[in-house]
Amino acid sequence: MKISKIAEILEAEVLCCDGHTENEVMSACASDMMSDVLAFVKDHAVLITGLCNPQVIRTAEMMDIVCVVYVRGKKPDAMSIELAESKNIVLMTSKYRMYQACGLLFSQGMHGGDCLI
Amino acid sequence: MSEKRRIVLEFDVDGDNFVSAGKASEAVKSNLKMLGLPPALIRRAAIVMYEGEINMVIHAKGGRAYVEITDQEISITLKDVGPGIPDIDLAMQEGYSTAPDEIRALGFGAGMGLPNMKKYSDSLEIQSEPGKGTTVKMKIKL
């Protein structure tokens, strides 16, 4: 699924790297615990989270995550945006809660990828 | 015969600033990318280094990281002079954590750090003495 399609489904506002929204996302993961993300995420994923600190972006960078969606209308701090810009990670914010955001993406064909333990 | 590769990187990990935690891992990842190593292997090295770096910041007020890249392996050594790990077997259990609540609020301290480091490295060796510090050695074969 293209990042632009994720933004459309979640009625999200893209906060940075809008030049990369035509990139493809292969799987999805939703968590506020970054160690869980580090344990299970697969390649070219979108991360859906309610956590807004710069460690979210560092985690995304380590895992080659291409897009981060902040739920409940949350917005990251300036340092997160700056870091994401330097790593070409698309950030967006959606008014949906995490459960709803996951449900909407899943129902539109965005599955979790091969992440069963 | 072609020359043998041996690249050594060293970093001071600042323990006072959680926001900057991960900088050393970021630098190591960039170096591995520049060497053109396979992405899956780079990601494994990045994960174990990042988890280790975060642990040093959370538990030991920082430390020092040494990374050596040869033709055969990536070797990561993390040394701190923090409180040490009294029971390493217990610390290796998924879900066990001594991290304070404020660290959990930042998305870490779920008790997955050491298990992740074991999962993604080919070898993990921990030497720790309570009150003196911890040395973690991880290797990833190329």
In a domain, B45, yes or no: yes
In a domain, B1, yes or no: no
Domain tally, chain B: 1
In a domain, B136, yes or no: yes
Contact criterion met (CB < 8 Å) for A62 and B119: no
Domain A3-107 - what CATH class?
alpha beta
Distance of alpha carbon A116 from the chain centroid: 19
Whole-number pLDDT of residue A117: 40
CATH code (residue B102): 3.30.565.10
- Taking CB atoms and an 8 Å cut-off, how many pairs form between chains A and B? 69
End-to-end alpha carbon distance in chain A:
23
Above pLDDT 90, what percent of chain A? 84
pLDDT for A114 beyond 60 = no
* Residue range A25-43: mean pLDDT, rounded: 88
DSSP, residue by residue, A9-70: HTTPEEEE-GGGTTSB--EEEE-S-HHHHHHH--TTEEEEES--SHHHHHHHHHTT--EEEE
Out of B107, B112, B116, whose CB is closest to A55? Answer: B107
Task: Domain of residue B97: give its range.
Answer: 6-141
* Residue range B49-56: mean pLDDT, rounded: 95
ipTM for the complex? 0.85
Place of tokens 């975060």: B54
pLDDT for A116 beyond 50 = no
User: Could you give the CA distance from residue B65 to residue B10 in angstroms, rounded to a whole number?
Assistant: 6
User: Could you give the CA distance from residue B13 to residue B36 in angstroms, rounded to a whole number?
Assistant: 26
pLDDT for B26 beyond 70 = yes
Nearest residue to B142 via CA among B70, B88, B81: B70
Segment B60-83, tens digit of pLDDT: 999 999 999 999 999 999 999 999
For an interface test with A, the pick among B59, B93, B106, B114 (most A C-beta atoms closer than 10 Å) comes out as B106
Phi, psi of A109 (to 5 degrees): 105, 0
Whole-number pLDDT of residue A86: 95
pLDDT for A42 beyond 80 = no
